[in-house]
Structure 1
Amino acid sequence: MRCVFDNATVLYGEGFVAVQGYVVIEDGVINEVGTGGYSGRGADIVDAGGGIIAPCFTNSHVHLGDSAGADLGAYLSIGERVAKSGVKYEAHNHPDAVDAIAASLDLMRQGGTTAFCDFREGGVEGIGLLKSVQNMPGRILGRPLDDEDIFNYCDGLGISTIKEYSGEKLEKMLENRGGKLVAIHAGEARDDVLDAMKIDPDFVVHLTNAGPQSLREVFERKIPVVLCPRANASFGVGIPDLKAIFESDCLIGLGTDNVMANPPNMLREMEFTWKLYRGLYKDPGFDARMVLRAATVNGRRILGLPDNTIKEGNQADFIVTKPMEYAVDPVLALVHRIGPSDIKEVVSPPYPS
């Protein structure tokens, strides 16, 4: 089946080059991106009405389990909110916890997110609860309870802090890694990055309080980094050195972190990150494309998911916005002007495929 989205501003390739034209999809794959109006035959034509076509978002770090506790413990410390005895587990144990997770996933999709990575608490049972309502591709990184071998049930291990498990316990868990993902919160509330790097993570999350030596270690090893600046600000733990991180050679993704602390809205995450950087470093030249790349295609690479750059041969996995009248830069329009109500269509592969 051939479908054409015509009359659009297409953000083509990794550089998000604005092409005034159309996208041809055949059997779920982008067959052609062309300029001008589509003149072919034998296709269903969708008039994009001058809207923007851009890759769907990737929420590279989220905790969906506390969705039933929006702003729970908002004036408590981060430890009181999310540590092992934190109030977030009140949300995990809420009678509507699974419905709340499903609602968060629906909100994510409505806002153009079609892939995610969840650090899933609750062991094997918690993994199963998330899978029961999962509506899009994702990487579920679990945390074992007692002696559970969670690698048989999910995509890898998502460690809260390096001190969560004893060295012996960590060593035993990592023996069963078998090529699956291992990721860890590092430098969120304090600088424990060098210790976290000892487990050879596939990526690290936060780096909020990482000092120069810790950043240097991450950068030299080119470990991918997932930033969650809205959550860091919401939890009151600081702001990462965005300048150093974006100027490094590391692959950078963005995530929204705990739903308890932030709505899982990647549009808000992009806007906050872009403006925060410009304000902190008095740098009006910071390119919004770097933030858009972190919120879309970089996340897919970090998580080992199919590339959703808009180019021939890739799966069709993109948003179509309403026309952004008077917007002179479609990338900037995406990064800090549109909201979920401006997304008129989300085109993505069926899940499960």
Structure 2
Amino acid sequence: MIIEGTIVRGREFEPVEGRVVVENGEIATVEEDSVESDDIVCPAFVNAHTHIGDSIAKEAGEGLSLEELVAPPDGLKHRLLREADQSELVEAMAHSLSYMEQSGTGAFVEFREGGVDGIRAIRAALADSDLESVVLGRETVDAMEIADGFGASGANDGEFGDERRATRRAGKLFGIHAGEVDSSDINAALDLDPDFLVHMVHAEELHMERVADSEIPVAVCPRSNLVTGVGMPPVEELARRTTVALGTDNVFLNSPSMFREMAFTAKLFDVSARDVLRMATVNGAELAGLDCGLVEEGRPARLLVLDGDSDNLAGARNAIRAIVRRAGTSDVKQVVSPDRDDPRR
């Protein structure tokens, strides 16, 4: 497979004209050359924080507080998940996963409710998907054992020491929500030495110093935080101290579109478009221990190809800003996966 256009190349995300040659699902070469294509080639997105099970209840719960919406065990989402038929849940998740692929996402990190049954449900939903998934179980250590790790709700909801020790023994990921509603759970979350934190809306200077010292990455979800009214994460300050990745959070609150998340972040915070694109690709990959998120030789070919001559993108003078601030699902020409011979069109 040969893909030509403006290529967002390497860790510096340098836009160069040329071609990407893919062989056996791997990027064989990235060649700088004059080409006729207007396409823009960049890494497929990595959504660093999702709750895909919420797909059964999109736009539910208007006017409810964050606690009423998502707090375990009896927040609205947890009640709806308990009431849902398994086949209904799997079908709803499959729709969201398909949309994520269509909108340029190549991999995602999921906090999956429902214990062992919840893990089995999302595995079933992923059966026909080319997405790379990191699925973290919740609620029980048994769920973690058949998943890729454990995703804790927050240190105020429990101690999670047993789960952290179990993930460490198993060599699996441990992520935890922290500082979403207030700062009261951040130190306790940091004491668990997690592999990554989610939200950190109310992080204070002491917390950010601890994050920097421990080199713990953070997944931020600004659109979700806006919808739930908890405030905005200190993205600029966090980015100066650690790796920051972007996630879309609960599907019933927001579409799992990384295009929307990037544009919102780029326009709300004082961070460059290049840094936002890193948050949406390689930073999420590194947070989750995945080998994707960059267009460079030897990497798996998880690529996004945009139609640079679309009505929306034609005339764009800056490829990085066009991807981050302007592009959308309608501009997607191909999503290339290493797991298939032909790209998704």
- Structures share fold, TM-score greater than 0.5: yes
**Equivalent in 336, 340, 348 of residue 337 of structure 2:** 348
Which residue in the other structure is 1:243 paired with? 236
Aligned residue type for 1:195: A
In structure 2, distance between residues paired with 1:114 and 1:21: 22
Is residue 279 of structure 2 the alignment partner of residue 294 of structure 1? yes
- Cross-structure match for 1:42: none
The alpha-carbon deviation at position 94 of structure 1 amounts to 3.0
Aligned-partner Cα distance in 2 for 1:157–1:231: 21
Deviations 1:83-105 (A, max 9, x none): 12111124423342221111000
Alignment of 1:79-94 (within 5 A): 79-84=67-72, 85-92=74-81, 93-94=83-84
Partner of 2:318: 329
Q: CA deviation at 1:164?
A: 2.1
1:236-275 maps to which residues of 2 (within 5 A)? 236-248=229-241, 250-275=242-267
Counterpart of 1:158, as a letter, is: G
Q: Which segment is superposed worse, 261-270 or 309-318?
A: 309-318
AA at the equivalent of 1:13: G
Unaligned ranges ≥5, structure 1: 39-46, 279-285
1:53, 1:320 within 8 Å by CA — same for their partners in 2?
yes
1:312 is aligned to: 297
Provide the rounded CA distance (Å) in 2 between the counterparts of 1:4 and 1:140: 32
Q: Deviations over 1:123-178 (max 9, x none)?
A: 00101000111122111111134xx522320011100111222x4xx333333222
Partner of 1:141: 136
Tell me how far apart the structure 1 counterparts of residues 297 and 211 of structure 2 sit (CA, whole Å): 34
Structure 2: how far apart are the matches of 1:311 and 1:271? 25
Q: Are residue 181 (structure 1) and residue 173 (structure 2) matched?
A: yes
Aligned to 1:221: 214
Q: Distance in 2 between matches of 1:68 and 1:150?
A: 21
Q: Does 1:159 align with 2:152?
A: yes
1:116 corresponds to which of 108, 121, 127: 108
C-alpha contact 1:193 1:210 (8 A) present in aligned 2: yes
CA distance in 1, matches of 2:14, 2:193: 36
For the 8 Å contact 2:26–2:338, the answer to whether it is kept is: no
Aligned with residue 161 of structure 2, among 171, 191, 194? 171
Cα deviation for residue 35 of structure 1 reads 2.3
Distance 1:125 1:83 in 2: 19
Q: Are residues 108 and 12 of structure 1, via their aligned partners in 2, closer, same or farther at CA, if it must alter by over 3 Å?
A: same
- SS of aligned partner of 2:269: helix
Q: Which amino acid aligns with 2:284?
A: G
Tell me the residue number matched to 2:343: none
Distance 1:347 1:50 in 2: 17
How far off its partner does 1:296 sit?
Answer: 0.4
Query: Deviations for 1:273-296, whole angstroms, at most 9, x for unmatched residues?
Result: 110104xxxxxxx32110000100
d(CA) in 1 for partners of 2:249 and 2:225? 9
Question: In 2, distance between residues paired with 1:171 and 1:33?
Answer: 45
* Contact in 1 for aligned 2:43/2:302 (Cα 8 Å): yes
Q: Normalising by the residue count of structure 2, what TM-score does the alignment of the two structures yield?
A: 0.91
Query: Matched residues, percent identical?
Result: 39
Task: Please list the CA deviations of residues 322-352 of structure 1 after superposition, one character each: whole Å capped at 9, or x if unmatched.
Answer: 123211100000001111010010011217x
Amino acid at match of 1:79: E
Equivalent residue, structure 2, for 1:65: 53
Query: What are the superposed Cα offsets for residues 185-237 of structure 1, whole Å, 9 maximum, x if unpaired?
Result: 00000102111111110000000112222222112222101110110001110
Write the letter of the residue equivalent to 1:172.
Answer: D
> For residue 281 of structure 1, what is the aligned residue in structure 2?
none
What's the C-alpha RMSD, in Å, of the aligned pairs?
Answer: 1.5
| Shift, 1:36, TM fit | 2.3
Q: Which amino acid aligns with 2:51?
A: H
Instruction: Answer whether contact 1:144 1:150 (CA < 8 A) is retained.
Output: yes
1:98 aligns with 2:96: no
The residue aligned with 2:18 is 21
Larger-gyration structure (1/2)? 1
1:230 to 212, 223, 235: 223
Question: 2:292–2:302: 8 Å Cα contact kept in structure 1?
Answer: no
Q: Which residue of 2 aligns with 1:193?
A: 186
- Aligned partner of 1:66: which letter? D
Post-superposition Cα deviations, 1:237-278, rounded to whole Å, max 9, x if no partner, equal 000112211222x11111000001100000000000110104
Deviates more, 1:174-183 or 1:11-20: 174-183
Contact 2:138–2:144 (CA under 8 A) maintained in structure 1: no
> Match for 1:175: what amino acid?
R
CA distance in 2, matches of 1:265, 1:26: 29
The count of residues paired between Structure 1 and Structure 2 equals 326
